[in-house]
């Protein structure tokens, strides 16, 4: 359980969370922000696995993708709501 929570926290405070949020804030299209966040999560996981899918754990990849999608979507929502105020 602690490993899962550590993985989630590491991804939220790491590249998928921070960079996904920043990339999501660059667009007003929700799907595009989510896709960019997911790409950041995928690239970050592959980067730390030495660019080999054989070294990627499924749970880490899924968590990184979900965090990236959520962060990108949140960034898009911030951009859309902030621009209308």
User: Closest Cα to residue 39, out of 54, 50, 28, 22?
Assistant: 22
pTM comes to: 0.90
Give the chain's end-to-end CA distance (angstroms, integer). Answer: 41
The pLDDT assigned to 85 comes to 63
Query: Which residues lie closer than 8 Å to 53 by C-beta, 6 or more apart?
Result: 46
Per DSSP, the residues of 28-61 read S-HHHHHHHHHHHHHHHHHHHTTT-GGG--HHHH
Mean pLDDT by 10 residues, the chain (85 residues): 91 93 94 96 94 93 96 95 75
**CB 71, CB 22: distance < 8 Å:** no
């Amino acid at each position: 359980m602690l490993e899962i929570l550590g993985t989630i926290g590491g991804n939220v405070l790491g590249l998928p969370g921070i960079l996904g949020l920043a990339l999501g804030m660059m667009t007003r299209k929700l799907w595009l922000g989510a896709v960019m966040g997911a790409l950041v999560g995928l690239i970050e996981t592959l980067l730390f696995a030495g660019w080999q899918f054989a070294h990627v754990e499924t749970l880490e990849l899924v968590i990184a993708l979900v965090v990236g999608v959520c962060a990108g979507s949140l960034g898009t929502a911030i951009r859309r709501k902030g621009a209308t105020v």
